[in-house]
Amino acid sequence: MSVSESLTQQAEVVRSFNRFYTRQIGVLDEGLLASPFTLTQARVLFELGTRKTVTASEIGELLGLDAGYLSRMVQGFMAQGLVARKPSKEDGRQWMLSLTAEGRKAFRTLDRASHTLTASRLAGLSEPARHRLLTCMRDVRQLLTPADENTRIVIRTHRIGDIGWAIERHGQLYADEFGWNGEFEALVATLFAQFANKHDSARERMWVAEVDGERVGCVFVVRNAEDRTAAQLRCLLVDPKARGLGIGKRLVDECVAFAQSAGYARMLLWTNDILVSARRIYQAAGFTLVSEEAHHSFGHDLVGQVWARDLTSA
């Protein structure tokens, strides 16, 4: 299957979901939520109802509405006694819009109806199913929202629950992206278990990356089993939803800085040549390829690589 054919099929899946969901929330009804308002009119009322005053241009920019179309809609609301307007004190060319008492009544009716419908749909699901649904919705929103400077990224040391999460994400992501079997998850579980059960917090540490409070990456450092002067970087992972934000680089930089402060002379890591993105991060952090060897693991023929970096120089 070509890339274009695959994209075409994926687009059809999204369109099918859109048709399904619009039916679920009643968008196709003549009036949204048994009201006299269309979906677009209801959205404009919502923006007016959640602000004291706002300009028409601000609403148009927020909702992506044509200025002429929005102007006609506002005129209709004014004719129904739902919206009032007055000139802006800062810019006489702009009109400040606000809901009248009748408009606020219409907004509250719509808002309650929307909340009641949504709550009733959620009530029909079990608690685990609700959690899964909300997580998926959050993921969709994050994936379709361009990353910007307002994204809050936190790199922190690990706490209860992080290791279980890290094992699950390694197993699932490597199965999804590379087709690796359960051997890999077992290896990762063993490495994390060893760290969890017995690690020297002064010389061994794990970090977790979060984006807006959600775990999206991890890595940890331990003492190399054969060379006590060397640190070993292990299990670097960045979830696909957070790639492109520089999180992998920040995690590796954290490892290098910690290993230097802990007094290690060098840092080693083991990876496979097909993990191209990870190798680029290691190279950018000053690691060089030491050796490589073919092996059959995780259900595939792979080429394992050892990379190293000197830590004695800044």
Q: Is the pLDDT of residue 3 over 60?
A: no
Q: Is the pLDDT of residue 188 over 80?
A: yes
Q: Is the pLDDT of residue 18 over 60?
A: yes
Q: What pLDDT sits at residue 11?
A: 86
Q: What pLDDT sits at residue 145?
A: 72
Q: Is the pLDDT of residue 75 over 60?
A: yes
Distance between start and end Cα atoms, the chain: 49
Helix axes 39-49, 67-79, angle to 10 degrees: 80
179 or 49: which leads in pLDDT: 179
Least confident of 43-47, 191-195, 236-240: 43-47
Contacts of 227 (CB under 8 A, 6+ apart): 268
Token readout for 152 is 């809050």
pLDDT one-digit tens code per residue, 108-149 = 998 888 888 888 888 998 988 888 888 888 778 777 776 665
Total number of domains constituting the chain: 2
Pick from 191, 221, 225, 218: which is nearest to 204 by CA? 221
**Is 173 in the same domain as 110?**
no
Between strands 266-272 and 288-297, the pairing is: unpaired
Q: What pLDDT sits at residue 30?
A: 59
**Is 36 in the same domain as 63?**
yes
Span 69-97, average pLDDT: 86
User: Which residues constitute the domain of residue 261?
Assistant: 153-310
pLDDT one-digit tens code per residue, 201-239 = 899 999 999 988 889 999 999 999 899 899 999 999 999
Q: Is the pLDDT of residue 1 over 80?
A: no
CATH number at residue 160: 3.40.630.30
Q: What pLDDT sits at residue 67?
A: 85
Which of 93, 114, 144 terminates a domain? The answer is: 144
**Is 157 in the same domain as 301?**
yes
User: What span, in angstroms and rounded, lies between the C-alpha atoms of 264 and 127?
Assistant: 47
Q: What pLDDT sits at residue 53?
A: 78
**Is 131 in the same domain as 253?**
no
Q: What pLDDT sits at residue 7?
A: 82
**Is 277 in the same domain as 231?**
yes
What is the pLDDT confidence band of residue 2, given thresholds at 50, 70 and 90?
Answer: low
